[in-house]
């Protein structure tokens, strides 16, 4: 397969992003294959929001805490704790707090918690090694995708409050609003002001039996533009390309250009991403856990 060529202007920006990476990081890249991380849903496949891009689909293949308890402890080293949100946009972990404390005794936990209240954060800090926080900076997206009566300020406040207690990695889903770029650049602007330990990018996938199933992924060049902008504007923090991104040719080309644009980690890379890393002379390291851990 031949990788499609992008515009000369975007090629120039990719090269600029690569130079920024070279100036700020050693010549190595990490490819994560998260076989050691168990994905766990605290709510089964139930979610009050029935989001336009997910509809509970991505919860169906996650394990329950009950099933996790039946497994040998040496079968995994970490957990991704997630679940469906309640009507306010947060995941109710409180009912499972004691079980989660037990798991956290000898396993690392990365948690999705949503728009948690400030008073709940100390409980999370007792058990979570890190928090993955979906950072949304577009009011229409919040309403259309999640159906939430919440604001961009609610996301900013939750993010800031969480960061006071623990490591938080903001996640930006490129094209979340049905494949449309809407708020991604504003999210980068806000995070530039607030600060971030790292950035994780995922890409909208049209998913069967959701309200967005007939939408298309965001235009590849627009995704590359977001990634290069992030690398240039955040020169010295790690940038990850997460596991959720379209498959097939789209994924192969995205991986190729993401590596060229200077990302630090790619989860389950395609051969084209690996090949580009080799062409750039990067030392390849491999991880077996969630990219946040």
Is 157 a domain residue? yes
Is 97 a domain residue? yes
Tokens of 30: 């990490």
Tell me which H or E stretch contains 90: none
Q: Give pLDDT, residue 76.
A: 94
Q: Which tens digits make up the pLDDT trace of 80-94?
A: 999 999 999 999 999
Is 293 a domain residue? no
Average pLDDT over residues 208-214: 97
pTM of the entire predicted model? 0.97
Confidence class for position 121, pLDDT limits 50, 70, 90: very high
Is 46 a domain residue? yes
Residue 163 lies in domain: 8-287
Is 3 a domain residue? no
Q: What is the CATH number of the domain that holds 247?
A: 3.20.20.70
Percent of the chain whose pLDDT exceeds 70: 100
Percent of the chain whose pLDDT exceeds 90: 96
Is 126 a domain residue? yes
Other beta carbons within 10 Å of 207: 16
Is 1 a domain residue? no
Lowest model confidence (mean pLDDT) among 33-37, 38-42, 72-76, 130-134: 72-76
Tokens of 58: 């991505």
Is 277 a domain residue? yes
Let me know: does 107 contact 65? Beta carbons within 8 Å.
no
Q: Which tens digits make up the pLDDT trace of 258-269?
A: 999 999 999 999
Average pLDDT over residues 125-152: 97
How many domains does the chain contain in total? 1
- List strands edge to edge, sheet with 37-41: 37-41, 78-82, 108-112, 130-134, 168-174, 199-203, 239-241, 265-267, 28-32, 283-287
Average pLDDT over residues 10-20: 98
């Amino acid at each position: 397969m031949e990788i499609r060529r992008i515009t000369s202007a975007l090629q120039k920006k990719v090269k600029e992003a690569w130079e920024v990476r070279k100036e700020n990081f050693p010549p190595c890249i990490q490819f994560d294959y998260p076989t050691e991380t168990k994905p766990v849903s605290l709510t089964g496949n139930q979610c009050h929001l029935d989001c336009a891009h997910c509809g509970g689909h991505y919860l169906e293949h996650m394990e329950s805490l009950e099933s996790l308890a039946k497994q040998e402890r040496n079968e995994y080293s970490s957990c991704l704790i997630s679940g469906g949100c309640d009507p306010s946009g947060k995941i109710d972990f409180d009912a499972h707090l004691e079980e989660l404390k037990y798991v956290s005794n000898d396993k690392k936990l990365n948690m999705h918690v949503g728009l948690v209240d400030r008073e709940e954060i100390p409980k999370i800090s007792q058990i979570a090694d890190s928090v993955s926080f979906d950072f949304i900076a577009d009011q229409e997206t919040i309403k259309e995708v999640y159906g939430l009566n919440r604001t961009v300020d609610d996301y900013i406040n939750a993010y800031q409050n969480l960061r006071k207690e623990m490591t938080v990695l903001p996640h930006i889903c490129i094209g979340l609003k049905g494949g449309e770029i809407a708020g991604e650049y504003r999210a980068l602007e806000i995070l530039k002001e607030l600060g971030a330990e790292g950035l994780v990018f995922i890409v909208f996938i049209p998913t069967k039996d959701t309200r967005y199933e007939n939408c298309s992924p965001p235009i590849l060049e627009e995704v590359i533009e977001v990634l290069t902008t992030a690398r240039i504007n955040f020169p010295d923090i790690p940038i990850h390309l997460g596991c959720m991104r379209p498959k097939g040719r789209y994924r192969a080309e995205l991986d190729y250009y993401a590596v060229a644009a200077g990302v630090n980690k790619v989860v389950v890379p395609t051969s084209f991403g690996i090949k580009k890393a080799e062409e750039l002379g990067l030392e390849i390291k491999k991880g077996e856990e969630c990219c946040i851990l």
